C-alpha cells in the first residue's frame, strides 16, 4: 500500500541523507535524490545517476509525492490564478497564485476542509476531512512554479484549513520549505494565518522562527466574535491579544490582525473604537478584508464609504491599517469557493 510508504518530499536534505543510512545506503545518495526531486523528477526512473538497484529499493519503501493538477483558472481582471489539486486519495484542495510583478505570492491550503466553523468561509462547510501532510502542502508551491515558470517568493498559509490545528505537519513543512537546496523560501516571506488557537500560538512563538503571524480577529467583542467564529467560544479576545504580544516579544515580528468586514455585523464605530483600545501601542497592522460573497451565506460586504470610514477611524488612533485588494474576484477568490463548486 502506498500510504505505508514514506513520502520523500516530507524530508529536508539532511533528513533524506539520514533516511538513506536507515535503508543501508550511503548518505550522498540522499543529496542526489533531493537534487532530482527539486529538478522536477516525478518518478525514480527520472533519476539518471541513481543505480537501478537503489531505484527499485526506493520504489518498495517510498514515493516522491506528487499532486495532480485538476483545474487552473486564470483571472481576466488581474494576474491571479486559482488551482485545484487532486490528492492521492481523491480529495481536492485549492491554492491561489498572485503575481504582483515584483513578487509572486502563493496562498496554500493546510487541511482538506476545516473544523473551525467560521461563518463567512466556504472551506468549513463540511467540517474537517483530514490534515495535509508536509509534502502535500509543499507540492502546491512546486506545481504553481511548474505552471507559471516563476519562482514563488512569498507564501501565505491562508488557504483552506487552520495551520495550528495541523501543527506537527505545519512545523515540518516550514522546515522543508526553508531548506537551502530546496525551495529556500525565507521565513520572513512566510505568513501563517490562524483563527487563534492560543496554546499553539505560544508553541509557535517558542520555535523562534521569524515567520509572520496573522490573526483572524473579525470582532473585538467576545460574544460577536463567537457568533462569526465558533472557535472564539474557547478563546477570549484579551487572551488572544496577550498571545500576540508574546509572539511579538519572542520574534520581534509585527503581527497582522485580519478583519473581515461584514455589513451590519462588525463594521460599526463601536468596533473600530474597541479595536483602537485593544491594539494601542502594539507592533501590529490591521488588514481590512471586505468579504467575498459566499453563495450559501447571507453575509454581504459593506459599501466602500463604510470600509474607508472604518479604516480612517483606526488610522486616526495610530493603528496602521490597509484595505485588502480583492484578487481574482472573477474566479472564486474566497477560501473554499472553487473546491465546493467543482464537486
Q: Please write the tens of the pLDDT for every residue from 46-86.
A: 999 999 999 999 999 999 999 999 999 998 888 899 999 99
Phi then psi dihedrals of residue 59, to 5 deg: -60, -35
Catalytic residue among 94, 136, 162, 271: 94
Mean pLDDT score, 21-49: 96
Whole-prediction pTM: 0.92
Q: Please write the tens of the pLDDT for every residue from 196-254.
A: 999 999 999 999 999 999 999 999 999 999 988 888 788 999 999 999 999 999 999 99
Q: Which pLDDT score is estimated for 75?
A: 87
Catalogue all structural domains in the chain, each as residue range(s) with its CATH number. Answer: 2-63 (1.10.150.530), 68-342 (3.20.20.70)
User: Shortest CA distance to 321 belongs to which of 333, 307, 335?
Assistant: 307
What pLDDT band is residue 2 in, cutting at 50, 70 and 90?
very low
pLDDT of 268 higher than 70: yes
Catalytic residue among 107, 114, 284, 335: 335
Phi then psi dihedrals of residue 323, to 5 deg: -105, 125
Q: Is 244 a catalytic residue?
A: no
Q: Which pLDDT score is estimated for 124?
A: 66
CA angle (65 as vertex; 113, 332 as ends), nearest 5 = 35
CB-based burial, 121-146: b 16+ in 10 Å, e otherwise: bbbbeeebbebbbbbbbbbbbbbbbe
Q: Which pLDDT score is estimated for 227?
A: 87
Q: Is 195 a catalytic residue?
A: no
- Which stretch of 111-125, 150-164, 282-296 has the lowest confidence by average pLDDT? 111-125
Mean pLDDT score, 98-102: 90
Average pLDDT, the chain: 90
What pLDDT band is residue 324 in, cutting at 50, 70 and 90?
confident
Amino acid at each position: 500500500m502506498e500510504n505505508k510508504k514514506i513520502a520523500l518530499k516530507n524530508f529536508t536534505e539532511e533528513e533524506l541523507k539520514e533516511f538513506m543510512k536507515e535503508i543501508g545506503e550511503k548518505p550522498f545518495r540522499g543529496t542526489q535524490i533531493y537534487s532530482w526531486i527539486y529538478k522536477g523528477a516525478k518518478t525514480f526512473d527520472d533519476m539518471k545517476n541513481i543505480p537501478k538497484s537503489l531505484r527499485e529499493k526506493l520504489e518498495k519503501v517510498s514515493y516522491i509525492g506528487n499532486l495532480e493538477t485538476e483545474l487552473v483558472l486564470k483571472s481576466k481582471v488581474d494576474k491571479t490564478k486559482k488551482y485545484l489539486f487532486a490528492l492521492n486519495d481523491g480529495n481536492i484542495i485549492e491554492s491561489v497564485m498572485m503575481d504582483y510583478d515584483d513578487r509572486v505570492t502563493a496562498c496554500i491550503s493546510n487541511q482538506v476542509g476545516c473544523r473551525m466553523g467560521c461563518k463567512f468561509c466556504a472551506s468549513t462547510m463540511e467540517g474537517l476531512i483530514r490534515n495535509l501532510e508536509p509534502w502535500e502542502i509543499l507540492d502546491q508551491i512546486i506545481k504553481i512554479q511548474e505552471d507559471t515558470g516563476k519562482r514563488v517568493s512569498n507564501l501565505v498559509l491562508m488557504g483552506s484549513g487552520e495551520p495550528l490545528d495541523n501543527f506537527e505537519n505545519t512545523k515540518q513543512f516550514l522546515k522543508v520549505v526553508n531548506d537551502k537546496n530546496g525551495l529556500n523560501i525565507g521565513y520572513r516571506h512566510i505568513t501563517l494565518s490562524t483563527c487563534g488557537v492560543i496554546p499553539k500560538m505560544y508553541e509557535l512563538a517558542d520555535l523562534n522562527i521569524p515567520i509572520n503571524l496573522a490573526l483572524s480577529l473579525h470582532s473585538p467583542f467576545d460574544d460577536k466574535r463567537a457568533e462569526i467564529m465558533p472557535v472564539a467560544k474557547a478563546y477570549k479576545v484579551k487572551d488572544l491579544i496577550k498571545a500576540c504580544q508574546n509572539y511579538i516579544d519572542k520574534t520581534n515580528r509585527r503581527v497582522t490582525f485580519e478583519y473581515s468586514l461584514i455589513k451590519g455585523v462588525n463594521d460599526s464605530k463601536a468596533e473600530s473604537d474597541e479595536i483602537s483600545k485593544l491594539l494601542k501601542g502594539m507592533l501590529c497592522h490591521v488588514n481590512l478584508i471586505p468579504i467575498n460573497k459566499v453563495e450559501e451565506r447571507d453575509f454581504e460586504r459593506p459599501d466602500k464609504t463604510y470600509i474607508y470610514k472604518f479604516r480612517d477611524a483606526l488610522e486616526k488612533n495610530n493603528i496602521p491599517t490597509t484595505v485588502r485588494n480583492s484578487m481574482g474576484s472573477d474566479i472564486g477568490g474566497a477560501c473554499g469557493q472553487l473546491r465546493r463548486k467543482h464537486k
